[in-house]
Structure 1
Amino acid sequence: MNSKQQRPLKKLLGIRGMGAALTAFVGLVIIYIAFGIINPAVFSGQNVLNLLRSMSKYLLIGIAQSYVLITGNIDLSIGSMVGMSAMIAATLMTTGMAPFLAIVIALIACLVVGVVNGYLVGKFKLPPFIATLGTMFVARGIAYMVNGNRNTDAIATGVGKETADAFQKCFYYGKTLGIYNTFWIALVIFVIFFFILSKTRTGRHIYAIGSNVDAAKLSGVNVVSTTVKTYLVSSVCSCVVGLILCAQAGMGNMEAGNMYEMYGVAAGVIGGVSPLGGTGILLGTFAGAAVWQTLENGLNMIGAQVGIQRVVIGVIVVAAVLLDVVVRNGQFGKHRKK
C-alpha cells in the first residue's frame, strides 16, 4: 500500500475513538456470524428486523449516556426518565388527550429533570453519581404517582383504537421501506446528535470538559451550559425510549426502563466511550448497542439462560473499561519499552 493510499486510512484511524469503534464493529460481525453458524435462524430476515428494532432502544440510551460520559460524568436517572415518560404519556392518553400533546408534556417533564441534573453537576458541583441518583428516585416516584401507583389501562380506552393504533405503529409496530419505524426514529436521532458531537462547537466543548475541565474553563468554555446540554440530550433520548416502550405495550408500566441507565453505559463503553471522559464517538456507541443486542438476541436463539446472558455482557463491559484504563495509563507502551 503506497503512501497516498495510507493517508485516508491514517486520517480515519486518527479520529479520536475511531479505533475502538472499528474494533466494536469487527467484534459485532464475529459475534453475529458465530451465532448464525450455531443457529441459522439468526440470519433470517425477520430476526434481523427484530434485532434492529430492539437495538434501537439501546442505541438511544447509549447516545444519552455517551454524551454525559464524554464529559466525565454519568446519568443514573435515565431509566427512571424512561419510565416517567411512558407513564405520563400513557396516563394522559387514557384520559383522552391527543397523543401529540401527551408526548410534548412527557418531553417537558424529562427536560426539567435534565436541566436539574445539569445545574446540580455543572453549577453546584455535586458528584454526578449523587445528583443523578437523587433525580433517579424523583423521576421514578413521579412515574408511580402519575397514575395513582398503578400501571395504566390500555391507551385505546382513552383515545380510541384507531388513534392508539396510529401511535403504536408510529413508534413500534409500523414499518417504512420494510424496516420498523423504531429503527428509523433512532437513526434520525443518532444522525442529529452525531453531527452535533463531531461537527459543532458544542461537541468540541463536550470533549474539552471531559479531557480537562480546568483547561476548558481557561479556554473560555461555559462548563455549566455545556453540562446542561449533555443532560438535555440524555433527557430527550430517554423520553423517546419511554414512548417506544409505551407503544410496544399499548399502556404505561411503572417499571418501564428499569436498569436502562446501565444498558446505556454498556452500549457506550463497549463502543469505546471512556467512562473517564474525553474519549469516544457515537459510531462506537452504535456498534456497542448492536453488539449488546446481538449478544442478547443470539444467546436467546441458542437457548442460553438469562443469567448466562447477564454474565457474558457484564464480563464484556468490565473488559472494555479495563482496556480503556490500561491504555490511558500507558501500560502497553511501558511493556513495549521493556
Structure 2
Amino acid sequence: MNSKKKNPIKQILAIRGMGGALTAFVGLIIIYCVFGMINHTVFAGENVMNLLRSMSKYLLIGIAQSFVLITGNIDLSIGSVAGMSAMIAATLMTHGVNPFVAMLITLLCCVVVGVLNGFLVGKFKLPPFIATLGTMFVARGVAYMVNGNRNTDAIATGIGKKAADAFQDFFYYGTTLGIYNTFLISIVLFVIFFFLLSKTRSGRHIYAIGSNVDAAKLSGVDVVATTTKAYLVSAFCACVVGFILCAQAGMGNMEAGNMYEMYGVAAGVIGGVSPLGGTGILLGTLAGSAVWQTLENGLNMIGAQVGIQRIVIGIIVLVTWNA
C-alpha cells in the first residue's frame, strides 16, 4: 500500500488555535521559571496550590468569554452576572434558604441573562457590545437591589455555621486529595466544555458562525440557537464564579466580579482565541488563565505594585494579539 501515514505532530499543530495555545504554554513555563529563580517561594507547594485555586476563577471566566468570542461576539455582562450570582445566593442564604435551593434559584436568574443576551444578539441583531453592555448594567443593578443596596451579612447568620462551612469548603476552602475543590470544579467544567466545543455539533456550529455567519446560515446552522447556547455557557460559568466569590468572602459583595469580563477576554486572547471569531481552543484559554494568574502571583511576590501588575498584563495581551 502506498498510503502515507499522517504525522501525528502535524495533525496536532493543524488543529485550529493550537499554535496560540502552545505559545501560551511555552510563555507560561518561561514566566514561572523566571519568577521562581527570582523568588524560590514561587516553587513552594503551598504557593502552587494557592495559585491554582486563584487561577480557577480566571479559567471559568475565560471559558465563558471564549465561547462567545469564538462566535465573533463578546459578553460584557459576565462580571456583573458573577456579582449578581454572589449577591442573590448570599441574600437567600442569609434569609435561611437552603444553600442548594439558593444555588438553583441563582442559576435560574443567571440563565435568564444568558438567554436574553443570546436573543438580543442572535435574533434581534443588536451589536453584542451594546446588548451585553445593557445587560451588564441590569445584572449589576440587580446585585445592588437584591439586598437593599448593601452587602449581605455573613451567610452563617441565616443557614447556620455548619451549612455555611459546608458551602464555603465545597467552593473555596475545602480540599480533595490535597487539591483545592475550587480548582477541581474548574477543571471538571473545563473538560466538559472542551468536549462540547471540540467534539459536538453545537461546537462545530459555534466555530461556523464565528468564521462566516452567512455561510453558516446557508449550511443550515441555527444562528439564534447557537448564539444563545454560547451565551448560556457564559452565564453558567459566571454563575459558578459567583458561588466561588460568595464562598471566599462568606457573604455577598455588591462589587463582586467587577472587571471580570475583561479578565475573560485577556485569558482567551493570551491563549490564542481570536476576538474576531472562528479561532481558538479552550486549551489556550487554560494556558492564558494560568499565564494571567502566574504573572499576578509572581509580580506580587517580588513586591510589584498593583498598577505595575496591570501594565505588564496589558502589554502581554497586546504582544500576544500582535503575534
TM-score, scaled to structure 1: 0.94
**Structure 2 Cα separation of the partners of residues 5 and 182 of structure 1:** 42
Q: Cα RMSD over matched residues?
A: 1.1
**Pairing 1:36–2:36 present:** yes
**What is the CA distance between 1:322 and its match in structure 2?**
2.3
**Structure 1 Cα separation of the partners of residues 320 and 211 of structure 2:** 19
**Structure 1 Cα separation of the partners of residues 120 and 14 of structure 2:** 35
AA partner of residue 272 (structure 1)? G
**Structure 2 Cα separation of the partners of residues 322 and 154 of structure 1:** 45
Q: Helix, strand or coil: the match of 1:138?
A: helix
**Structure 2 Cα separation of the partners of residues 117 and 318 of structure 1:** 28
Percent identity between matched residues is 80
Match of 2:165 in 1: 165
CA-to-aligned-CA distance 1:47-81 (integer Å, 9 cap, x gap): 00000000000000000000000000000000000
AA partner of residue 286 (structure 1)? L
CA-to-aligned-CA distance 1:13-52 (integer Å, 9 cap, x gap): 0100011101100000000000000000000000000000
CA-to-aligned-CA distance 1:239-274 (integer Å, 9 cap, x gap): 000000000000000000000000000000000000
Match of 2:193 in 1: 193
Where in structure 1 are there 5+ consecutive unaligned residues? 324-338
Match of 2:292 in 1: 292
**Structure 2 Cα separation of the partners of residues 276 and 194 of structure 1:** 20
**Structure 2 Cα separation of the partners of residues 257 and 67 of structure 1:** 19
CA-to-aligned-CA distance 1:293-336 (integer Å, 9 cap, x gap): 0000000010001111000001111222223xxxxxxxxxxxxx
**Structure 2 Cα separation of the partners of residues 28 and 232 of structure 1:** 30
Match of 1:145 in 2: 145
Q: Helix, strand or coil: the match of 1:195?
A: helix
**Structure 1 Cα separation of the partners of residues 177 and 226 of structure 2:** 37
**Structure 2 Cα separation of the partners of residues 255 and 322 of structure 1:** 32
**Structure 1 Cα separation of the partners of residues 320 and 228 of structure 2:** 27
Match of 2:257 in 1: 257
Match of 1:335 in 2: none
AA partner of residue 320 (structure 2)? A
**What is the CA distance between 1:6 and its match in structure 2?**
7.5
**Structure 2 Cα separation of the partners of residues 186 and 33 of structure 1:** 24
**1:2-151 matches, cutoff 5 A:** 7-151=7-151
CA-to-aligned-CA distance 1:208-250 (integer Å, 9 cap, x gap): 0000000000000000000000000000000000000000000
**Structure 1 Cα separation of the partners of residues 17 and 91 of structure 2:** 41
**Structure 1 Cα separation of the partners of residues 110 and 128 of structure 2:** 17
**Structure 2 Cα separation of the partners of residues 317 and 223 of structure 1:** 30
**Structure 1 Cα separation of the partners of residues 318 and 93 of structure 2:** 41
**Pairing 1:210–2:202 present:** no
CA-to-aligned-CA distance 1:73-127 (integer Å, 9 cap, x gap): 0000000000000000000000000000000011011000000000000000000
AA partner of residue 94 (structure 2)? T
Where in structure 2 are there 5+ consecutive unaligned residues? none
AA partner of residue 167 (structure 2)? F
Match of 1:178 in 2: 178
Bigger drift between 79-88 and 4-13 goes to 4-13
AA partner of residue 52 (structure 2)? L
**What is the CA distance between 1:5 and its match in structure 2?**
9.1
Match of 1:220 in 2: 220
**Structure 2 Cα separation of the partners of residues 160 and 133 of structure 1:** 37
AA partner of residue 278 (structure 1)? G
Number of residue equivalences: 321
TM-score, scaled to structure 2: 0.98
